[in-house]
Amino acid sequence: MGVIRFIGQAFLSFILVVVFYGVFTPIGMMVRLFRDPLDRTLPDDRESFWVRKTPVAFDPKEYEKQR
């Protein structure tokens, strides 16, 4: 049984490596060729993605019954 368990673990590892490098790696490379998955381009030639928020008045009653 120990030998069979070792062969099963080795075969499982081999199958997982084949699936990862045979399926997921080419799909990831194709996605990177056609678009940026992280969308790192800045629209409108801005310098930063920082968005200023307008200050909101603090109301303690808002914290009593949260939705």
Q: Rounded distance, CA 25 to CA 22, Å? A: 6
**pLDDT score for 30:** 93
**pLDDT score for 61:** 83
* pLDDT tens readout for residues 3-61: 999 999 999 999 999 999 999 999 999 998 988 888 777 777 778 878 888 988 888 88
Q: Are 31 and 37 in contact (CB under 8 A)?
A: yes
DSSP string, 17-50: HHHIIIIIHHHHHHHHHHS-TT--PPGGG-S---
3-state class of 55 per DSSP?
coil
**pLDDT score for 49:** 79
